[in-house]
Amino acid sequence: MQQEHRVKLNYMKVLRAKEKAMEIIRGKPSVSYGELLSYLYMLEYTNPETVTRLHKSDEGHFLYAFVSLYSSIKGWEYCRPIMVVDGSFLKAAYRGTILTTCILDAAGNILPLAYALVDSENDASWGWFFMQLKNTFRVREGMCIISDRHDSIQNATSTAYPEVPHCFCIYHLWNNVKALFRKNKEKGRPIFFALAKAYTTERFERYINELNKIDRRVQPALLV
């Protein structure tokens, strides 16, 4: 019987092998960043009326990049004017953060509107992103912006969209307050979401009182 040989690989060896394979398939990230101008040009060339913006630092280095395809810009006219924004850090070699915004169409499907690559979530990057959004999509009647409670988003929306209501995502709010419930979070969850969807003052007050019976720290946390 042929003896089976097994080779033990540690985590770092497997990681380096994966990175090497990805480099062979996609090329080096540094080379890709060097072709960013060409990429943005081709986006506009192959998708007329697409909007791209590139912002460099004082030293001439890449800092922010913004992209919104024409199909998304046109779709904005026919979708609900509820703009959802969020940011997520990147795990590539150069790190950074991607900022995104999307809306729902009449069938409840998600339509991406725009995205930007920035250094991190801060006042400057969010402020720049929202100014590009406003220049691209303008302001519609009944429009509102939804996000988590990141301070930089609040600062940016108050500057770029002072006339547009800024609301908080109920799922982010739940993640912020559920730690207060501790052992009672399963009991508090349905009450919290019923509270978030209450359309009358009477129902809102009723659910707030129910939450206060579970933990009185929740209501002040929602008002921060």
Q: Is pLDDT larger for residue 47 or for residue 107?
A: 47
Residues 72, 113: contact at Cβ < 8 Å?
yes
Instruction: With cut-offs at 50, 70 and 90, classify the pLDDT of residue 224.
Output: low
* Average pLDDT estimate for 19-41: 85
CB within 8 A of 50, min separation 6: which ones? 43, 44, 67, 68, 69, 70, 73
The mean pLDDT of the chain is 89
Over range 109-132, report the average pLDDT.
Answer: 95
**Residue 53 in this model has a pLDDT that exceeds 60:** yes
- φ, ψ of residue 98 to 5 degrees: the values are -105, 130
Map out the domains of the chain as residue ranges: 11-168, 169-224
Residues 113-140 have a mean pLDDT of 95
**Top-ranked range on mean pLDDT: pick from 57-61, 125-129, 212-216:** 125-129
Mean pLDDT of 124-142: 95
Question: Looking at residue 7, what is its pLDDT?
Answer: 66
pLDDT of residue 167: 92
Provide mean pLDDT across the span 189-202.
92
CATH number of the domain located at residue range(s) 11-168 in this protein? 3.30.420
pLDDT at 178 over 90: no
Q: Are 86 and 148 in contact (CB under 8 A)?
A: yes
More confident residue, 154 or 57: 154
Conformation bin of residue 218: beta by default, left when phi > 0, alpha when psi is -120 to 50: alpha
Q: What is the pLDDT of residue 76?
A: 94
Decide which of 222 and 153 is more confident.
Answer: 153
Distance of CA 103 to the CA centre of its chain: 12
Q: How far apart are CA 76 and CA 25, in angstroms?
A: 35
pLDDT in tens, 3-20: 666 667 788 888 888 888
State the pLDDT at residue 145: 96
- In this model, does residue 99 exceed pLDDT 90? yes
